[in-house]
């Protein structure tokens, strides 16, 4: 490892949030999580600072948009004394969610990277603008510090062709560089290291990454076998503002009416929970469903059936499942979501205690009843995975 004492800032722009983590070598110094909340009847962004000892502190300020998050993060890190002239940044890592061979590997950002990003703008409207904004802000805020883009697909590279291809003519696949690249790879890559580290590895596992974007990945012997996202994160599960998989004919019809770029935007940004129930926030959907709001209940049920159904599909493909893992913000925090999914999977030997909360200081929780196969809640750490990969990238270049 060449980055043992290097100070890296990791930026993870999600579709609804921005996460910054500061590392020295492989040790996290602190992290900042900017997330949207409804406060005083207004949508605004708040920020939580988490220190190396795990203690959390809400920053006493709110913001109207994530555009300013980078500069605010720098100011917070300087105020807290985490970076200064004597302790400068050595590099900035930016998570990139984008299709194609180029973005299934990690790169130091150069002109080619910026051109490749331009090409995937249309197909990844939820993430590529955040990545471009992140690179621009990184260069402006920390002039001269190298920026790297860290692939969100690389960890999902699968050995077998069973899950990676589309049934399309070869010339079309080659012309458009198509493949089931998958996404949330930084999270799954972290899980592939973390699960054995915690001594929890089973032969056939399904990891559910449920956040603003939702996906499920099956691991056989700790390696990825099947994943629900495909060419882009639109494939697979319905998410807060995404359709998930729908009849492809609808995509073509929308393309004809709106043009391809607007059609893809509509399916990514104006669909999902938001379209069905008027909110992209799972907490509001749950509250609505509990108050018998029919649209919220329909959206919730479609969401839950989608996740449970995908787990069932992977069980059939693998010939059973030995353990289920929940991660990412909804997976880690939401008791109702976990309970609703698992209550559909009793026939496969899973029964959940209905009140288990994750205590992050303990590393993980097992929410399974005594007579159930394990149901783990394990916090993800996409930044830790990106840091490890940055070390490998620097070693390769050395
Ligand atoms: N306690 C909670 N229960 C259910 N959902 C939650 C809770 N807290 C946050 N969320 C949801 O988590 C989502 C954000 O997840 P996150 O993984 O941070 O998203 P992303 O990385 O895609 O931006 C939001 O859509 C929000 O509705
Ligand atoms: C790939 C993806 O959907 O990421 P996120 O859930 O962070 O938006
Ligand atoms: Mg995310």
Nearest alpha-carbon partner for 6 in 289, 351, 387, 393:
387
Confidence band, pLDDT 50/70/90 cuts, at residue 6: confident
Asked whether residue 257 is assigned to any structural domain, the reply reads yes
> 41-55, 162-176, 244-258, 279-293 — which is least confidently predicted?
41-55
Tell me the HSE value of 356 on the side-chain side, using a 13 A CA sphere. Answer: 23
The alpha carbon of 361 is separated from its chain's Cα centroid by a whole number of angstroms, namely 22
Residues 358 and 233 in one domain: yes
- Is there a binding annotation on residue 362? no
Is position 371 annotated as part of the catalytic site? no
Q: Please give the distance, rounded to the nearest whole angstrom, from the Cα atom of residue 242 to the centre of ligand 3.
A: 14
Q: Please give the distance, rounded to the nearest whole angstrom, from the Cα atom of residue 204 to the centre of ligand 3.
A: 24
Under a CB-based contact definition with an 8 Å cutoff, are residues 139 and 92 in contact? no
DSSP track, 102-136: GGGS-EE--HHHHHHHHHTTTT-TTTHHHHHHHHH
Residues 86 and 230 in one domain: no
142-163 confidence digits (pLDDT tens):
999 999 999 999 999 998 999 9
165-177 confidence digits (pLDDT tens):
999 999 999 999 9
Choice from 130, 211, 229 to test ligand 1 binding pocket (greatest atom count within 8 A of CB): 211
Residues 221 and 350 in one domain: yes
We report the CATH number of the domain holding residue 260 as 3.30.420.40
Asked whether residue 180 is assigned to any structural domain, the reply reads no
23-33 confidence digits (pLDDT tens):
999 899 999 99
Q: Residue 212 gets which letter from DSSP?
A: S
Residue 359 has pLDDT above 90, yes or no: no
Six token digits for residue 260 = 């391809």
Higher pLDDT, 42 or 241: 241
Q: Domain boundary at 102, 134, 157, which?
A: 157
* Mean pLDDT, rounded, of the chain: 94
d(CA 353, CA 372): 10
The span from the first CA to the last CA of the chain, in angstroms, equals: 10
In this prediction, residue 326 carries a pLDDT of 98
Under a CB-based contact definition with an 8 Å cutoff, are residues 394 and 3 in contact? yes
Residues 137 and 245 in one domain: no
Ligand 3 ion: nearby residues, β-carbon < 5 Å? 14, 211
- Is there a binding annotation on residue 95? yes
Asked whether residue 186 is assigned to any structural domain, the reply reads no
Asked whether residue 164 is assigned to any structural domain, the reply reads no
Residues 138 and 251 in one domain: no
Residues 221 and 369 in one domain: yes
Number of domains in the chain: 2
* Beta-carbon count within 10 A of 340 CB: 20
Six token digits for residue 286 = 């749950």
34-83 confidence digits (pLDDT tens):
999 887 788 899 999 999 988 999 999 999 988 889 999 999 999 988 98
Residues 256 and 360 in one domain: yes
Residue 281 has pLDDT above 50, yes or no: yes
In this prediction, residue 39 carries a pLDDT of 77
Six token digits for residue 334 = 């939401």
Nearest alpha-carbon partner for 244 in 220, 219, 193, 210:
210
Q: State whether the beta carbon of 331 lies less than 6 angstroms from ligand 2.
A: no
In this prediction, residue 340 carries a pLDDT of 98
Asked whether residue 60 is assigned to any structural domain, the reply reads yes
Tell me the HSE value of 289 on the side-chain side, using a 13 A CA sphere. Answer: 21
Residue 290 has pLDDT above 80, yes or no: yes
370-398 confidence digits (pLDDT tens):
999 999 999 999 999 999 999 888 777 66
Residues 246 and 97 in one domain: no
> 84-88, 92-96, 334-338, 370-374 — which is least confidently predicted?
84-88
Choice from 98, 104, 127 to test ligand 2 binding pocket (greatest atom count within 8 A of CB): 127
In this prediction, residue 398 carries a pLDDT of 65
Distances (CA, A) of 339 to 226, 283, 307, 368: 23, 14, 12, 10
Asked whether residue 173 is assigned to any structural domain, the reply reads no
In this prediction, residue 87 carries a pLDDT of 83
* Beta-carbon count within 10 A of 56 CB: 11
Structural domain for 328, as ranges: 200-382
Residues 78 and 147 in one domain: yes
Residues 205 and 153 in one domain: no
In this prediction, residue 1 carries a pLDDT of 45
In this prediction, residue 361 carries a pLDDT of 79
Q: Domain boundary at 122, 157, 192, which?
A: 157
* Beta-carbon count within 10 A of 14 CB: 23
Atom 6 (ligand 2) nearest CA? 213
Asked whether residue 16 is assigned to any structural domain, the reply reads yes
Residues 222 and 364 in one domain: yes
Ligand number with the minimum distance to the CA of 35: 1
Atom 16 (ligand 1) nearest CA? 211
């Amino acid at each position: 490892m060449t980055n043992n004492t290097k100070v890296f800032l990791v930026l993870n722009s999600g579709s609804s949030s921005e996460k910054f983590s500061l590392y020295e070598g492989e040790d996290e110094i602190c992290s900042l999580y900017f997330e949207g909340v409804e406060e005083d009847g207004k949508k605004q962004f708040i920020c939580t600072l988490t220190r190396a000892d795990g203690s959390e502190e809400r920053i006493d300020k709110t913001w109207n948009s994530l555009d300013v998050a980078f500069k605010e993060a720098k100011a917070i890190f300087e105020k807290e004394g985490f970076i200064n002239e004597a302790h400068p940044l050595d590099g900035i890592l930016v998570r990139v969610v984008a299709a194609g061979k180029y973005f299934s590997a990690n790169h130091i950002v150069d002109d080619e990277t910026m051109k490749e990003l331009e090409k995937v703008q249309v197909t990844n409207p939820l993430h590529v603008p955040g990545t471009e904004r992140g690179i621009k802000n990184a260069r402006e805020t920390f002039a001269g510090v190298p920026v790297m883009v860290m692939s969100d697909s690389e960890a999902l590279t699968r050995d077998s062709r069973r899950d990676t291809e589309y049934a399309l003519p070869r010339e079309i696949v080659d012309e458009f560089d198509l493949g089931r690249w998958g996404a949330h790879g930084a999270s799954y890559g972290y899980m592939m290291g973390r699960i054995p580290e915690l001594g929890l590895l089973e032969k056939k596992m399904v990891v559910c990454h449920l956040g603003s974007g939702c996906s499920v990945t099956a691991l056989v012997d700790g390696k990825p076998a099947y994943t629900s996202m495909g060419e882009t994160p639109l494939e697979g599960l319905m998410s807060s503002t995404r359709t998930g998989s729908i009849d492809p004919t609808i995509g073509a019809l929308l393309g004809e009416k709106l043009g391809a770029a607007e059609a893809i935007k509509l399916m990514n940004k104006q669909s999902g929970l938001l379209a069905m129930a008027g909110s992209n926030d799972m907490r509001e959907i749950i509250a609505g469903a509990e108050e018998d709001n029919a649209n919220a209940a329909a959206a919730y049920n479609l969401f839950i059936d989608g996740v449970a159904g995908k787990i069932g599909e992977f069980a059939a493909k693998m010939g059973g499942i030995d353990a289920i893992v929940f991660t990412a913000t909804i997976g880690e925090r939401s008791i109702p979501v976990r309970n609703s999914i698992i209550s559909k999977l009793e026939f496969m030997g899973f029964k959940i205690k209905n009140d288990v909360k994750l205590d992050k200081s303990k590393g993980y929780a097992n929410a399974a009843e005594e007579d159930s196969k394990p149901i783990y809640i394990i916090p993800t750490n996409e930044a830790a995975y990106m840091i490890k990969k940055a070390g490998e990238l620097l070693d390769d270049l050395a």
